[in-house]
Amino acid sequence: MTTTTLLHLDSGTGLADSVSRALTARFATAWRAHHGAAGTHLHRDLVADPVPALGTGYATLGRRVERQGVVPLRDVAALADGPHEQHEWHLTRPLIDQLLTADTVLLGVPMYNLTVPATLKAWIDRITFPGAYTDPATGQSLLHRTRVVVAAARGGGYEPGTPREAFDFQIPYLRAYFTTLGVPAERLHIVAAELTRADDVPALNDLKPLAARSLTDARTTLDELATS
């Protein structure tokens, strides 16, 4: 039996009406039903179980490793100098291994202050260790077969052609980050529900039909991705 792993991360506050969490839960449910016993679902709530912020030892170890070119992950621990660097690597290596093991990465990402939540940024900062995703033998990205699915939620409207398009530092950032990490563009799927505050923000009330359509489209797309 061929097995497959879903790494599911939620980064928004745990509000009962969280759109991003509802979307990732919907995807995960459909994914589990589709894969059955062959699927392993790993879920981390980055609010309830946050990734620690980087310490100085992370930076000093990372620079030392980077100066040597691409260092295999198994050899990084031997380069750690002192307890602070060892502690930082102890926090970092399991997260990198978890990402490398995943076939699909599912991220729930609301827009906070025009960009991603600090909870997700802490995870991104921690996993982005120099050379971690480069095959030392070939130079190829170790994530070239990884699929990333982002369920994004935005209270307002930021789609191309809208007045606030230029204020979107959420989706362009995630697209640039994962493609830089080596995830192929065709395996990176960012699905956004727009205008999620249309029901409760008076200035957006007239846009309720657009909000409902955006949410429906996001659900449909995620359902398709979950079973493909």
Burial class (CB in 10 A: 0-12, 13-18, 19+), 67: exposed
Q: Using alpha carbons, select from 134, 124, 115, 112 the residue that is nearest to residue 68.
A: 134
Residue 112 marked ligand-binding: yes
Residues 6+ positions from 131 with CB-CB distance below 8 Å: 65, 66, 69, 70, 71
Residue 207 marked ligand-binding: no
Residue 205 marked ligand-binding: no
Residue 18 marked ligand-binding: yes
Residue 19 marked ligand-binding: yes
Q: Using alpha carbons, select from 93, 100, 95 the residue that is nearest to residue 73.
A: 93
Distance from C-alpha of 72 to C-alpha of 192, rounded to nearest angstrom? 36
Q: Tell me the H-state helices in 52-184.
A: 56-67, 73-76, 82-101, 118-127, 171-181
Torsion of CA 176, 177, 181, 183, to 10 degrees: -60
Query: Residue 21: in which H helix or E strand, if any?
Result: helix 19-35
Which residue positions form the known binding site?
18-20, 111-114
Which residue positions form the known binding site for FMN?
18-20, 111-114
